[in-house]
Amino acid sequence: MTGTRAAETAARKVRLIAAATALAAEGGYEAVQMRDVAARAEVALGTLYRHYASKDQLLLAAMAQQAATLRERLVLRPPNGDTPSARVSDVLRRASRSLERSPLVTKAMLAAMSSAEEAAIPLKLEIDTTLRAIIADVVDEGHCTTFADLDGIVRVLGSVWFAELTYWSSGLNPSSSSMGDNLASAAQLLLG
């Protein structure tokens, strides 16, 4: 019975995240209203609040799911490149293309990431940990890295990634360059 209950809970969470993502795709951050999410997911409003106390937590769960999916896809289709810089550039370009395809969803998730809600911190840390692990795995690619400060490089690349997302979502990214190209430039500067 416990396995069945866990599977039902997991399925509900999948529906809730899908509903929130669909609403964000239709109208951005403001369109994600908890009552609408519950209705679209065919889940009682109380059940939604039991899993996610706010729309920020719900959107962060969606972002965490996207980051985990990216990591899984990289296992199935490893990044191209013979150097850490080339591999990181490939990953950042892939991730950026994916985010750029759903601009309203990306902007909604970014708004949630910027939330000051204390209860959302564990989800933010989960996202940060996954994204840092992606970069670290790609840089090191199973070797003992020659970079003396891999953690520092990963931290800086993660910060640049977040800053680039912020620039892109607010329209500050010049149209002549894509988010992926800018991130690839940062990877080249940091990794040589």
pLDDT surpasses 80 at 142: no
In a domain, 18, yes or no: yes
Tell me whether residue 167 is exposed, middle or buried, using C-beta atoms within 10 angstroms of its C-beta: 0 to 12, 13 to 18, 19 or more: middle
In a domain, 132, yes or no: yes
CATH at residue 74: 1.10.357.10
**Same domain as 29, residue 2:** yes
**Same domain as 73, residue 109:** yes
Which of 54, 53, 34, 31 has its CA nearest to residue 44? 34
Tally of helices (H runs) and strands (E runs) in the chain:
9, 0
**Same domain as 46, residue 93:** no
DSSP 8-class letter at 141: T
**Same domain as 166, residue 77:** yes
**Same domain as 48, residue 66:** no
**Same domain as 157, residue 79:** yes
Q: What's the whole-model pTM score?
A: 0.87
Owning domain of residue 82:
62-191
**Same domain as 97, residue 138:** yes
Distances from the Cα of 165 to the Cα of 49, 90, 106, 147, 169, angstroms: 29, 17, 9, 26, 6
Side chain identity at residue 108, one-letter code: A
Q: Kindly report, residue by residue over 30-81, the tens digit of the pLDDT.
A: 999 999 999 999 999 999 999 999 999 999 999 999 999 999 999 899 999 8
**What is the mean pLDDT of the segment spanning 139-165?**
76
pLDDT surpasses 60 at 161: yes
**Same domain as 170, residue 83:** yes
**Same domain as 186, residue 98:** yes
Question: Helix or strand or coil: residue 104?
Answer: helix
**Same domain as 137, residue 119:** yes
Distance between CA atoms of 183 and 8, rounded to whole angstroms? 39
CATH at residue 24: 1.10.10
In a domain, 57, yes or no: no
In a domain, 114, yes or no: yes
Yes or no: say if 10 and 21 are a contact pair by the CB < 8 Å rule.
Answer: no
Question: Helix or strand or coil: residue 145?
Answer: coil
**Count of domains observed in the chain:** 2
The angle at the Cα of 25, spanning 59 to 163, to the nearest 5 degrees, equals: 60
Task: Write the DSSP string, 2-56.
Answer: HHHHHHHHHHHHHHHHHHHHHHHHHH-GGG--HHHHHHHHT--HHHHHHH-SSHH
In a domain, 119, yes or no: yes
**Same domain as 169, residue 125:** yes
Q: Kindly report, residue by residue over 111-141, the tens digit of the pLDDT.
A: 999 999 999 999 999 998 998 888 888 887 6
In a domain, 38, yes or no: yes
Question: Helix or strand or coil: residue 69?
Answer: helix
Q: Which of 41-45, 108-112, 140-144, 173-177 has the lowest mean pLDDT?
A: 140-144
**Same domain as 175, residue 95:** yes
In a domain, 6, yes or no: yes
